[in-house]
């Protein structure tokens, strides 16, 4: 009876995926562990299943990229996914394949589980939107030591253990909205309500800080009357916006710094009386486009989501296929202010 990888894994005390990577010379296994696996395989008389290996190569290619996105049901990531898929398809002839996993809530423990599941499938690198949590930073650092690299997209980690980051300049994105608000106020006294996103996303926390720092430094005429957090969730955003409209009827502008904009738009549409605040938001999901046409949204700031997905996978593909490192470990996407007239 043929010896299986499961038997080797059981005897060594590791996972089947670890055995597979060790026997096929893939990165991600400590040297001493790999040597022990090979010794046990030889002792047991293990012979590789060539048919199984051929099937695996056909299904996944030579270099499998694990793509992990935290979307919180945010349509913004539809374009990120499109860009990622396009890059995988472009590099297929060089043995690149990809598996996409979507996480709908900011759960660091679950994100690590998904990373481990993809490693079991043979993932040799990751392209991901990391949750802001020390456990994620630590896991990415461990993977680096094991030869598995990570490219972060849209948001980043707080260490330098990733191969590269692709996305907008977080703090600058907040400064852009603050400067836009200052231009619109034009020296007049203006009251502003701020609806921020989750603190589990480094991009959003740095954006908020850039926004507030600019206003404090440059715009004494702009007054923040309240700050709320919507956790990048449309339903929470809806409830928070309703409360803001009820408690602060003197708000001139409502600035939404993260996702969940659809809930805010619904709340504004349901408002029957009182002055409706002007809305400044990020990204061009379909609800925002329609709201701009109806003049509910004054302006939106974009950050090239397609390019984030495409460039993130492209960097990882070149690293795996050609051992090519990126010229810079930070690739900033363009920030642009879009008005309703830009969409006509």
What is the rounded distance in angstroms from the CA atom of residue 313 to the CA atom of residue 334? 18
What is the rounded distance in angstroms from the CA atom of residue 246 to the CA atom of residue 251? 10
Same fold, 1-48 and 170-302: no
Residue 194 CB: number of other CB atoms within 10 A?
21
Collapse the DSSP code of 217 into the 3-class scheme (helix H, G, I; strand E, B; otherwise coil) and give the result: helix
Q: What is the DSSP letter of 26?
A: -
- Whether the Cβ atoms of residue 226 and residue 248 lie closer than 8 Å to each other: yes
Q: Which residue has the tokens 């980043």?
A: 156
Token digits of residue 103? 């996480």
Indicate left, alpha or beta for 165 from its phi (over 0: left) and psi (-120 to 50: alpha): beta
What is the rounded distance in angstroms from the CA atom of residue 69 to the CA atom of residue 30? 28
**pLDDT over 70 percentage in the chain:** 94
The architecture that CATH gives domain 60-167+306-333 is: 3-Layer(aba) Sandwich (3.40)
Q: Which of 72-81, 154-163, 244-253, 294-303 comes out lowest in average pLDDT? A: 72-81
Is the Cα torsion angle 242, 247, 249, 250 positive or negative in sign? negative
Q: Which of 89-93, 127-131, 169-173 comes out lowest in average pLDDT? A: 89-93
> In CATH terms, is domain 1-48 a member of 3.40.605.10?
no
Indicate left, alpha or beta for 93 from its phi (over 0: left) and psi (-120 to 50: alpha): alpha
- Whether the Cβ atoms of residue 118 and residue 68 lie closer than 8 Å to each other: yes
Enter the pTM of the model.
Answer: 0.81
pLDDT at position 28 over 80: no
What is the rounded distance in angstroms from the CA atom of residue 72 to the CA atom of residue 129? 12
What is the rounded distance in angstroms from the CA atom of residue 2 to the CA atom of residue 216? 71
Task: With cut-offs at 50, 70 and 90, classify the pLDDT of residue 88.
Answer: very high
Task: With cut-offs at 50, 70 and 90, classify the pLDDT of residue 224.
Answer: very high
Is the Cα torsion angle 131, 133, 139, 142 positive or negative in sign? positive
pLDDT at position 55 over 50: no
What is the rounded distance in angstroms from the CA atom of residue 171 to the CA atom of residue 156? 12
Summary mean pLDDT of the chain:
91
Q: Which of 27-36, 57-66, 256-265, 288-297 comes out lowest in average pLDDT? A: 57-66
Pick the CATH number of 170-302 from 3.20.20.540, 3.40.50.1470, 3.40.50.2300, 3.40.720.10: 3.40.50.2300
Q: What are the backbone angles phi and psi of residue 121, rounded to the nearest 5°?
A: -80, -10
Q: Domain-by-domain residue ranges, the chain?
A: 1-48, 60-167+306-333, 170-302
pLDDT at position 151 over 70: yes
Report the candidate in 9, 10, 255, 94 with the shortest Cα–Cα distance to residue 18.
9
What is the rounded distance in angstroms from the CA atom of residue 74 to the CA atom of residue 215? 28
């Amino acid at each position: 009876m043929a010896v299986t990888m499961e038997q080797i894994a059981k005897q060594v005390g590791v996972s089947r995926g670890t055995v597979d990577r060790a026997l096929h010379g893939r990165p991600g296994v400590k040297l001493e562990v790999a040597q022990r696996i090979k010794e046990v395989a030889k002792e047991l008389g293990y012979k590789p299943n060539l048919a199984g290996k051929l099937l695996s190569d056909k299904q996944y290619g030579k270099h499998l990229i694990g793509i992990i996105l935290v979307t919180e049901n945010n349509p913004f990531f539809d374009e990120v996914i499109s860009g990622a898929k396009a890059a995988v398809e472009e590099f297929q002839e060089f043995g690149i394949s990809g598996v996409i996993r979507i996480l709908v809530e900011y759960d660091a423990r679950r994100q690590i589980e998904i990373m481990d599941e993809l490693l079991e499938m043979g993932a040799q690198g990751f392209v991901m939107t990391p949750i802001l949590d020390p456990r994620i930073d630590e896991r990415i650092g461990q993977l680096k030591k094991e030869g598995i690299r990570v490219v972060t997209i849209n948001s980043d980690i707080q260490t330098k253990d990733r191969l590269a980051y692709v996305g907008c300049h977080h703090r600058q994105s907040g400064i852009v909205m603050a400067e836009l608000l200052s231009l619109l106020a034009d020296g007049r006294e203006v009251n502003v309500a701020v609806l921020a996103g989750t603190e589990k996303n480094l991009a959003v926390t740095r954006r908020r800080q850039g926004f507030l720092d600019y206003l404090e430094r440059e715009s004494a005429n702009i007054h923040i009357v309240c700050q709320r957090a919507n956790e990048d969730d449309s339903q929470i955003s809806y409830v928070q916006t309703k409360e803001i409209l009820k408690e602060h009827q003197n708000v001139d502008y409502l600035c939404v710094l993260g996702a969940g904009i659809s809930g805010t738009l619904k709340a504004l549409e349901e408002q029957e009386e009182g002055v409706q605040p002007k809305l400044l938001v990020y990204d061009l999901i379909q609800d925002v486009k329609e709201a701009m046409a109806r003049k509910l949204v004054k302006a939106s700031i974009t950050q090239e989501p397609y390019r984030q997905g495409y460039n993130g996978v492209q960097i990882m593909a070149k690293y795996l296929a050609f051992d090519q490192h990126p010229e810079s470990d930070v690739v900033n996407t363009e920030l642009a202010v879009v008005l309703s007239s830009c969409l006509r």
